[in-house]
Amino acid sequence: MTNSFNNSFVRNLVGMVAAVLIGGTFLVAAAGPAVAATNAVNSNAISNIVRSA
């Protein structure tokens, strides 16, 4: 009884850790290009403002 409970608990724990790791990887993969795009837009806007001034 206790052994099967421990096994399922460990399996659930491993699944949760894996889900968090995978989710974190997806977040980083999604956020990376978005941040890069935002930085590119900002630097373009700043250089345009400087040029027009």
* Inside any domain, residue 44: yes
* Inside any domain, residue 17: no
* Inside any domain, residue 6: no
Chain centroid to CA 9: how far?
Answer: 26
- How many structural domains does the chain have? 1
Query: Any idea of the CA torsion for 16, 18, 22, 27, to the nearest 10 degrees?
Result: 40
Confidence of residue 1 (pLDDT cuts 50, 70, 90): low
* Inside any domain, residue 51: yes
pLDDT score at 21: 92
Range of the domain at 47: 22-53
Confidence (pTM)? 0.48
Express each pLDDT in 8-45 by its tens digit.
888 999 999 999 999 888 888 888 888 888 888 888 88
* Inside any domain, residue 35: yes
